[in-house]
Amino acid sequence: MGNVLVRDAVGKGTPFARTCAHTHAHEPGGRPDRPPATPGGRTDRGVNVTVKSTARARKKAAPGVPDKPSANPAEPQLVQLLTPEGVRVEHPDFPLTVAPEELRSLYRDLVLVRRFDAEATSLQRQGELGLWASLLGQEAAQVGSGRAMRPGDYAFPTYREHGVAWCRDVDPLNLLGMFRGVNNGGWDPNEKNFHLYTIVIGAQTLHATGYAMGITKDGADDAVIAYFGDGASSQGDVSEAFTFASVYNSPVVFFCQNNQWAISEPTTVQTRIPLYRRASGFGFPGVRVDGNDVLAVLAVTRWALDHARTGQGPVLVEAFTYRMGAHTTSDDPTRYRQSEETEAWKAKDPILRLKAHLEAEGLADEAFFAEVEAESEKLGLRVREGVRSMPDPDPTLIFEHAYSEPHPLVDEERAEYEAYAASFEGGEHH
């Protein structure tokens, strides 16, 4: 069983622990500082198993989770509040009241996140970035879930959560600086409650679970959300995180963006059942939501975070969406998927459906849309100019923060590098 990063419980609010929990999930009493876990719970006709809280009484069963499997296990069972045509619909388990100004704000988020993403892709093609992982098509999944978080909630992203970063007030130039190679992230995760990007597939789910375990020990009224993709759901780290979160009843939401493709591998060859149903095997609820519907994602994620923060344990949210672009700018999706598939998903575009709703209900006029477009132009210009004017970093910065305190070996290596670099000054390079 892998190590789980646990938030420091000594000082409330300290974001990262200095220790790791090495206890195996089948040895809940192995840690002397906590009582044995009580994984026993109830079952819902053998389909959904929920873990009883060790801190608070359980509330009603999870909404949106079917009592029995679909006759067709591959059939999407989506929670949807806004149809692809922009028609508002209701869901009995996920009511949502959204003021007109909030709807307009969500639309603005979607447009600006897409524009930033498009500029980043163009900059990589121009040689200004080393790599870029586009989120095109997944804006609603990220903005909806990002706006569902409270200030005290903590997000653990992969490397594609640019929309969530936007919602956590991370400057887009900090993200681009990392992909340009001039910083190691650029933002303070303690300030933003948004962890640095994780390139190792699935590893952040363990970090998120450990952090959530620390929240429980602190007695804080916060929750954690861990982002990962459908491909990462096949990783062992994710299964380990599910196990720990379930046994310790941790306040964590596992948010899977099922964009249908793990690079060139379709979801259909990775799982025999819809991904959200995997949660039942670990003892907590799973919900599948229309990942292109920003309102449904907002409602479901709010419910999931509240479910977690009130002592009812983890939730798996599967945002059923689509990666419209390449996996990264080093990928060519035309080699493994059909154009007809992409065209079909264009009709479900998250921005167009919200715009259609705003227009149909008279909640936004042409002046508003023109204002958002003008703002997106300003953002694009700032991104282009900002990236191209980024100074090269001091090469010795690579030796900083390798350890929390000075280390003699690092000091020795820094001195060797500085002497090597100095040997080129004032002379010819051979």
Helix segments in 286-407, DSSP class H? 294-307, 339-346, 350-360, 366-388
327 belongs to the catalytic site: yes
DSSP string, 153-190: -EEE--S--HHHHHHTT--HHHHHHHHHTS-S--S-HH
Residue type, 371: E
Q: Pick the catalytic residue from 91, 180, 323, 353.
A: 323
Q: Pick the catalytic residue from 26, 42, 150, 336.
A: 336
336 belongs to the catalytic site: yes
Task: Report the C-alpha gap between 170 and 166 in whole angstroms.
Answer: 6
Q: Which of 315, 320, 304 is nearest to 145 (CA)?
A: 304
Burial of 174 (0-12, 13-18, 19+ CB in 10 A): middle
For residue 59 the two structure tokens come to 């509330």
DSSP state of 397: G
91 belongs to the catalytic site: no
For residue 191 the two structure tokens come to 């300030």
The pairing of strands 154-156 and 48-51 is unpaired
Q: What are phi and psi of 105, to 5 degrees?
A: -65, -40
Residue type, 328: T
Q: Pick the catalytic residue from 115, 327, 353, 357.
A: 327
The pairing of strands 48-51 and 41-44 is antiparallel
Task: Report the C-alpha gap between 137 and 352 in whole angstroms.
Answer: 11
DSSP state of 121: H
For residue 76 the two structure tokens come to 């999407």
Integer angstrom CA distances of residue 358 from 148, 227, 285, 361: 20, 29, 33, 5
Say what the alpha-carbon torsion angle 136, 141, 144, 147 is, to the nearest 10 degrees: -80
DSSP string, 227-271: EEETTGGGSHHHHHHHHHHHHTT--EEEEEEE-SEETTEEGGGT-
Q: Yes or no: say if 223 and 216 are a contact pair by the CB < 8 Å rule.
A: no
CA-based angle 200:206:212, to the nearest 5?
Answer: 140
Q: What are phi and psi of 400, to 5 degrees?
A: -80, 145
Task: Report the C-alpha gap between 142 and 297 in whole angstroms.
Answer: 8
Active site positions, annotated: 323, 327, 336
